[in-house]
Structure 1
Amino acid sequence: MEPFRRLRSRTVVLPATDIDTDQIIPARYLTTTGREGLGRHLFAGWRYAGDGTPLADFPLNRPQAAGCAILVAGRNFGCGSSREHAAWALYDYGIRVVISSEIADIFRSNALKNGLLPILVDEPLHAWLLAHPGADLEIDLEGNRLLLPDGQAVTFAIEPFARYCLLQGVDELGHLLAQLPRIEAFERETAR
């Protein structure tokens, strides 16, 4: 994972509510334990016709969505079964932040563990973001702030350890392995 401190990007909007993990990445693509290449299957059931042709009217297929790293999604994003591949597919596609007024707990946990920042906002701001696709936003993780196009700063909550891991660009195991010299020193000291 890369460290996440600040991100400036336009938004791509997917307003549907109750987008579940099977819609994020269909089960037929869960045959790998690797993270790379899953982005091409992101929202596959919605992005492509039966013959694999991209559907021009799907928000992620529109030219103005190219390079967008912030997804604004409808309420209850990531519901359904626990599927780490959903976070992997979003990350591999280039999405680094998901914003909604409601994000399923298990998806939120998987996202944070895989370098993807889920941000909860209140209903009025969520409605504004849904109505303004392509809005230029800045995410300041060091300050826990979402900066809007008019300069207004909105704070967001994130668990301290998850924030630390994102800022450092490590997952839980990476953090633990970085502590190995201290753990070994402690064990040597207490074994005496």
Structure 2
Amino acid sequence: MLRPEIVESVLKKSILVPEDQATLFELFVGFEILDALETEGFKIQILRLLGKSTVKPLPFASLRRGQEEIDLYWQRSLWVVNRPERSGFLARVQSDNQVQNPRPFRPDFLLVGQNPPRLTLVEAKLTEKEKTRETVGIANALAYLQDAAEVLARYPKPHALVVAWGATGTPAMSEVVVSDQHSLAAATQSLLGPKVKEVSARRSAS
């Protein structure tokens, strides 16, 4: 069960009431990532929560720090956001086997950055049995990485973040960063890489 203070934290920041706890946890993860990015000096330019466009998918939030830009997409496929590259390994397997009504993978969040380029797929896990949440989350992340390997090869690591309720892992500089619900600030720092140390040094000197 989600603790009341976490539910309250998300609902205070949002304009909708999710229908299930898994969706609520996803939103909590999204807002915690935004908070962590703001702590690192990013400013939120756009926060729309919900948004549809017939031209292109709209980000959940857009942030900026100097020349750096980050868009955070909620429940969007990489192959919709990352046009014109519209398919990966999964689509090829589905096509080879003539799978009916094929659907692409859709991570809970996509973090897409410019100056420098970043691409991170985020998986939030709440619903599985307690002892398997982070393992299932990592397995899902590895499937995303396999699917998008050709695209991700052009971006620096980490390439995925798994946030699992009650996870035992500690966020580290790895291709897949693993975090519980309390360590998202450190996990987000891992996604930013060396830039974090530079920003912290400038803050200490000021």
TM-score (normalised: structure 2): 0.26
Q: Rg bigger for which structure?
A: 1
